[in-house]
Amino acid sequence: MRRAVLPVLWVVMALLALWYVAAIPMNIREVVTEAERGGAEVWGGTAAERQDRSAWALALRNPSVALNGWAQERPRLPAPHQVAQELYASTIGEEVFGRRGFFQTGELSNRSLVYHAGVTLGATVVGFLIGAAAGVLLAIGIVHNRAMDMSVMPWAVISQTIPIVALAPMIIVVMNSVGVQGLLPKAVISAYLSFFPVVVGMVKGLRAPDRMQLDQMHTWSATQAETLWKLRLPASVPYLFASLKIAIAAALVGTIVGELPVQRGGLGARMLAGSYYGQTTQIWAALLMAAVLAAFLVWLMGWLERRTLRAMGVPA
Amino acid sequence: MSPDGSTQMAAASLSQTSAPVIAARDLNLVFQTADGPVQALKDVSLSVAKGDFVSFIGPSGCGKTTLLRCVAALETPTSGTLTVNGLTPDEARRARAYGYVFQAAGLYPWRTIAGNIRLPLEIMGFPRAEQDARVDRVLKLVDLAGFGRKYPWQLSGGMQQRASIARALAFDADILLMDEPFGALDEIVRDRLNEEVLNLWARTGKTTLFVTHSIPEAVYLSTKIVVMSPRPGRITDVIDSPLPRERPLDIRESPEFLAIAHRVREGLRAGHVEL
C-alpha cells in the first residue's frame, strides 16, 4: 500500500502538469479577446484574422496574457485549481457555510454535489443489486439448462451492443407512461449495464469445478441444488467479485446516462446543466465527483472481496 | 433416506454370506469418440469377496480406472452384468455402498479439513451431532486428529490425501474405491501411506478396490492382484496373494513378495506382447 503511494503521486503530478499546459492553448482565444477589449496591444491581428492562427502561436506570441488562461471566468478548459475550488465550493462550501446547506437547514442543499452524488449513488446501488442478482440467476440458468445455455448468451451480448444513450430515454419514457418515475427507471438502466459482466463471470465461475469434483458429488448422490450450493457457488466467488467490480462501475455509468433525460438531480443532471449554461468548471467538478464515487464503489467491492475470501479461509 | 438405511443394506448383503461384494460378468464398455469407437473394457469378469483388498494394475488405457468408475456408477457398461452388494451400481451408489478416493485429494479450499470430511455427511443428511462424532472418529483413523480446523493449503500433499480418505470413510460405506490415490506423491510419503492404508484396511475390514500403476504398491497391499492390459482393456491375470495379512514394510524384500512381483511383471509384459 505504502509503496504504491509514490508512483501514483508521480502519475497524478504528471497529469496535472499536462492539464495546466493544455489549459493555455485551449483558452488562449478568449484570453486574447479579453485583453484586446481591455485595450492591450495583442499579437495576431484582428479577431477575424486570429481565427486562422494556431492556438500555440497565439499563446507563445502573447506571453504577457497567456497565463490568464488559468483564471478565466468561463474557460473552455478550466485549470485544475479552478475545478478544485468549484468542487470545494459545491461540497463543503455549500453544505457547511452555505445558506441552504446542511449545517443551516439540516437538509442537503440541492445545489451541492454531495446531494447530487447521493441521488446518483442511490440509483446506482439499487440498479447494481438488481443487475447483479439478475446476472447470477441468469448464469445459474445457463449452467443448468441447455436451452438457456444456447439462447441467453447471444441475447445478452446483443443487449450490450445497443448504445445506452439511445436506449435510456426510451426506458425512461416507457416507464414514465406506466407511472414509474424517480429512482427506479434510472436503476433499471444501470441494471441493464451491470448484469452483463456478472453473467459472463458467473457462467465461468459456476463451471470452474472440474470433472473430478462433479464426479465426487455424484458418488455422494448429491442433487443439482446441493452441487450448486456446496460446490459451484463457493467455487465461483473469485469470479463473482471480479465481475462485481466491473458491474458496479458500469452501474454508475448507467445511472448517470439515465439522469441526462430526467433532469431531477444527480451527477448526470448536473453535468448536462453545466453544458447548457457553459459552466465547464461545474461539469468538471461533477465529473471528478463521479470519479471519486466510482473509486469508492470499486474499493468497496475489493474490500468485500477481501473480507469474503478471508472468511473462506484463503491465505491473506 | 435415513442415515441408518445403509447399515441395514450392508447387513442384508452380509446375510447372503457367500455372495460376492462385487460381481462382474462379461463386462464390455465402448466409448464413442471422434476417432471412432474405443473398447475400454472387453469381456471383463471378476468377483470380489467381502474383505478383499484388490489392486488393479496395468499401463494407462488398460481400463483399470474405467472399471472402477463402472463399479461407482460413474460409467455405464455397454453390455454385461455388474452388481455391487447384489445391487446395480446405481442402486449401490444411492445406498451409499462405497466411498471413492480420487487421484487428487480434491479438498475444497474454502472448507476446513473437518468441513471437507463433513461435506458428504451434510449431503446425506446426518444430524449435526453425529456429523461431529463421525468427523472426529475418521480424523483419528487417518491420524489427523487435531488438524480438523486447518485449511487444506496448510497441509502437505500426503496429509491432504489422508483427509480425502477420511472423507470417503466418514459415512461408513463398506466398500472403498481408490483410484491411484498416491500417484502424485513422492516415494517416501507413498511408502508411509501404503502402510497406513494397510493398517486402516486391517482395522475396518472394508472391501477395497485400489487402482495403481506401481507393482510394489499392488503386491504390498493386495490379497488379490488384477493385471490388465490395453487396447482393448481386459484382464490378463488374477493373482491371489499368498502373503500374510500382517505385512511389515520389509516384507517387500522377501522371496514370496519378489515372486508375486515377478508374476505381475510377466502378466504386464504378456499383455504387451499380444498387441
Statement to judge: residues A144 and A218 lie in one domain: yes
The pLDDT score that the predictor gives to residue B13 is 44
Residue A170 within a domain: yes
Residue A99 within a domain: no
Best mutation target among A212, A218, A221 (most B Cβ atoms within 10 Å) is A221
Whether B16 has a pLDDT exceeding 50, the answer reads: no
Statement to judge: residues B77 and B157 lie in one domain: no
Residue A207 contacts residue A153 (beta carbons within 8 Å)? no
* Subunit contact B74:A218, Cβ cutoff 8 A: yes
Residue B186 contacts residue B170 (beta carbons within 8 Å)? no
Residue A26 within a domain: yes
Statement to judge: residues A47 and A131 lie in one domain: no
Q: Which domain holds residue A175?
A: 113-311
Residue A229 within a domain: yes
Q: What is the CATH number of the domain that holds B41?
A: 3.40.50.300
Statement to judge: residues B86 and B185 lie in one domain: yes
The pLDDT score that the predictor gives to residue B23 is 92
The pLDDT score that the predictor gives to residue A174 is 92
Statement to judge: residues A128 and A51 lie in one domain: no
Task: Give the end of a domain, one of B154, B172, B190.
Answer: B172
Per-residue cell: A149: 445455455
Statement to judge: residues B112 and B63 lie in one domain: no
Statement to judge: residues B167 and B182 lie in one domain: no
pLDDT digits (tens, 9 = 90+) for A170-204: 999 999 899 888 889 999 999 999 999 999 999 99
Statement to judge: residues B136 and B189 lie in one domain: no
* Subunit contact B74:A231, Cβ cutoff 8 A: no
Statement to judge: residues A121 and A8 lie in one domain: no
Instruction: Looking at the complex, report in whole angstroms how far the Cα of residue A257 sits from the nearest Cα belonging to chain B.
Output: 39
| 8-state DSSP, A96 | I
Residue A103 within a domain: no
The pLDDT score that the predictor gives to residue A253 is 94
Whether B60 has a pLDDT exceeding 60, the answer reads: yes
* Subunit contact A220:B123, Cβ cutoff 8 A: yes
The pLDDT score that the predictor gives to residue B5 is 46
The pLDDT score that the predictor gives to residue A261 is 81
Quote the CA–CA distance of A254 and A193 in Å, as a whole number: 6
User: Which chain B residue shows the shortest CA-CA distance from A219?
Assistant: B93
Q: Which domain holds residue B219?
A: 5-97+177-273
Please tell me which of the candidates B93, B99, B104 has its beta carbon nearest to residue A221.
B93
pLDDT tens for each residue of chain A, 316 residues long: 678 899 999 999 999 999 999 999 999 999 999 888 888 888 888 888 888 889 999 999 888 888 888 998 889 999 999 999 999 999 888 888 888 888 888 888 888 899 999 999 999 999 999 999 999 999 999 999 999 999 998 999 999 999 988 899 999 999 989 988 888 999 999 999 999 999 999 999 999 999 999 999 999 999 999 999 999 999 999 999 999 999 999 999 999 999 988 778 899 999 999 888 888 999 999 999 999 999 999 999 999 999 999 988 877 5
List the 53-72 stretch of B: residues with Cβ below 8 A of A. Answer: 69, 72
* Subunit contact B102:A231, Cβ cutoff 8 A: no
Statement to judge: residues B145 and B201 lie in one domain: no
* Subunit contact A222:B123, Cβ cutoff 8 A: yes
Interface check for B103 against chain A (CB to CB < 8 A): the answer is yes
The pLDDT score that the predictor gives to residue B17 is 53
User: Which chain A residue shows the shortest CA-CA distance from B151?
Assistant: A313
Quote the CA–CA distance of B68 and B66 in Å, as a whole number: 5
Statement to judge: residues A45 and A141 lie in one domain: no
The pLDDT mean for chain B works out to 87
Task: Give the end of a domain, one of B123, B153, B172.
Answer: B172
Task: Give the end of a domain, one of B148, B172, B196.
Answer: B172
Structural domains counted in chain A: 2
pLDDT digits (tens, 9 = 90+) for A10-64: 999 999 999 999 999 999 999 999 888 888 888 888 888 888 889 999 999 888 8
Residue A98 within a domain: no
Counting one residue from A and one from B, how many pairs have CB atoms under 8 Å apart?
Answer: 52
Statement to judge: residues B164 and B112 lie in one domain: yes
Statement to judge: residues B242 and B225 lie in one domain: yes
B258 falls in which pLDDT band (50, 70, 90)? very high
Statement to judge: residues B67 and B118 lie in one domain: no
Statement to judge: residues A44 and A152 lie in one domain: no
pLDDT digits (tens, 9 = 90+) for B207-236: 999 999 889 899 999 999 999 988 888 898
* Subunit contact B123:A226, Cβ cutoff 8 A: yes
B75 falls in which pLDDT band (50, 70, 90)? very high
* Subunit contact B111:A313, Cβ cutoff 8 A: yes
* Subunit contact B102:A212, Cβ cutoff 8 A: yes
Statement to judge: residues B160 and B215 lie in one domain: no
Interface of A with B (CB under 8 A): 212-213, 215-222, 226, 230-231, 234-235, 237, 312-315
Please tell me which of the candidates A212, A221, A234 has its beta carbon nearest to residue B106.
A212
Give DSSP secondary structure letters for A19-80. Answer: HHHHHHHHHHHHHHHHHHHTT---SS-SHHHHTTS-HHHHHHH-HHHHGGGGS-SS-SS--H
Per-residue cell: A97: 457555510
Statement to judge: residues B137 and B160 lie in one domain: yes
* Subunit contact A313:B122, Cβ cutoff 8 A: no
Residue A89 within a domain: no
The pLDDT score that the predictor gives to residue A119 is 93
Sign, CA torsion B81/B87/B91/B97: negative
Please tell me which of the candidates A217, A218, A234 has its beta carbon nearest to residue B110.
A234
Per-residue cell: A130: 438488481
Residue A119, burial from CB neighbour count under 10 angstroms (0-12, 13-18, 19+): buried
User: Which chain A residue shows the shortest CA-CA distance from B93?
Assistant: A219
Statement to judge: residues A163 and A48 lie in one domain: no
The pLDDT score that the predictor gives to residue A95 is 87
Instruction: Looking at the complex, report in whole angstroms how far the Cα of residue A3 sits from the nearest Cα belonging to chain B.
Output: 28
Residue A52 within a domain: yes
Contacts of A312 in chain B (CB under 8 A): 109-110
Best mutation target among B6, B123, B147 (most A Cβ atoms within 10 Å) is B123
Quote the CA–CA distance of A174 and A15 in Å, as a whole number: 42
Statement to judge: residues A141 and A213 lie in one domain: yes
Q: Which of A139, A140, A133 is nearest to A199 (CA)?
A: A139
User: Which chain A residue shows the shortest CA-CA distance from B177?
Assistant: A219
Statement to judge: residues B61 and B161 lie in one domain: no
